Amino acid sequence: MKPYRVLVVDDSAFMRKIISDLIENDANFQVAATAANGREAIDKVNELSPDLVTMDVEMPEMNGLEALKIIMAQRPLPVIMLSGINEEGMKETILALEWGAFDFIRKPSISNSQDIISVGVALREQMNEAMLARKQREARASSYKAPELPATDVPSVPESTQSPAKRIMEPIKKLPDPASKLVEKPKVKPEMNLAPDKSKSKSSPGRTAPESGSPQSGAKSAALPKPATEPFRNRSKEEAKPLIPDSKTLPQTSTGARNDPPSVAGDRKSSSTGLSKLVAVGCSTGGPRALKEFLENIPADFPAPIVIVQHMPPNFTKSLAQRLNTFSPLEVSEAEQGMILRKGAAYIAPGGYHMRVVPAAGGQYSIDLTLGEARNGHRPSVDTLFESILPYTSLERHAVIMTGMGSDGAKMMKSLYDSGVTSTFAESEETCVVYGMPRSAVELHCVRHILPLQEIAPRLVQAVR
């Protein structure tokens, strides 16, 4: 097999050399060319048609963000961003992920050989995942092509009645949910339900079989609540008073002490007292874009907090939370030690910390951050978050896994499902950037709703209501 051809873009000749050497440590990849700025990158993408691009974020003449937008519009291909750890670089990296970059890695420290090695390992892993994802998309597109039949064998059908989605669907026994048509979406396969229907089973300790017609029973509703479409508004915010943090579980970060807890809207009508519902979400590669689509379609009066693990290095998660907060009707913030969970708010685990949900006084629940060992290669880990909500049988719990490589979250979603949590969601392959984590959960038969990205939020709103 011929090696995949890579274009390396960076304004530093020394960094171009380092990145090129790291790439060619994998025999499956070959550096086809290099470019010193975004304008050169666009020209060489058009000239050479590489399989993949590594793109520096900050460059003179044309930066990586501007080049990415043009490349994705003219000749889409996997682009891995190389980001500095300064604030501006982090913000631009979040935008790049939103605008179609496959993923990103932080630029290595040129004075630290061990750091260069670790960045190389991460880069090669992402490149291989990008090529695997491309192969899977191409195979899926190929399988969707309708077989050509002689004209005499095909009765004349008016064009308006011919549904491409119906022609390309893989055979499944479950019919599409008519309610899903209320959500505008591309024509993709309808929701699949591969998990055993536990709603009809006998009640057991720690679970309650849903009543007929309830959202968790799997019964179809005549009307699906529309996603929130109200524009983002500037909210007045006041500092949330955290519980007393445990200094043993919350060490200092490399950049110093953690910031004060993120703000929570002071005029929010809902209260955290006597919390009865909770949503936990996990995602990885492709997650920032998925979270934007997901969170901007959850209404401000959502009756549950949403706790989120997105695999991402330290510091970047704060920029991600700030960006998502500008789109979502919810209050979105980076989680802080001891924060009380509130309805109508979303909390993103800070990079480098595991996030757990723990009980607090008055029927409340709070955030606990720890520096435990990486789990499934990640800290934060989705499995750690899901495992933390496993004992809380008095809570109505909902679990969601979206795009991402690997299998983080699948094992504990299975444990939640086996314990009676039947409101489980996974993003379907059609809309995943990488169909890894959702696939792992589906293969464990613990997913009640397998949905394209744009349908997850409306169906979750229906279930939580």
Q: Which residue numbers are catalytic?
A: 284, 311, 408
Rounded Cα–Cα distance for residues 51 and 40 (Å): 17
The DSSP call for residue 216 is G
10 Å CB burial of residue 141 (0-12, 13-18, 19+) is exposed
The helix/strand/coil state of 99 is coil
Q: What six digits make up the tokens of 377?
A: 């290669």
Question: Nearest-CA neighbor of 441 among 206, 282, 219?
Answer: 282
Rounded Cα–Cα distance for residues 262 and 342 (Å): 13
The helix/strand/coil state of 244 is coil
Give Cβ neighbours of residue 399 (< 8 Å, ≥ 6 apart).
279, 280, 281, 386, 409, 413, 416, 421, 423, 424, 425
Q: What six digits make up the tokens of 406?
A: 């690997």
Question: Are 277 and 304 spatial neighbours (Cβ–Cβ below 8 Å)?
Answer: yes
Give Cβ neighbours of residue 62 (< 8 Å, ≥ 6 apart).
37, 38, 39, 41, 42
Question: Are 381 and 374 spatial neighbours (Cβ–Cβ below 8 Å)?
Answer: yes
Q: Which DSSP string do the residues of 409-424 spell out, in sequence order?
A: THHHHHHHHHTT---E
Give Cβ neighbours of residue 379 (< 8 Å, ≥ 6 apart).
352, 353, 354, 371, 372, 373
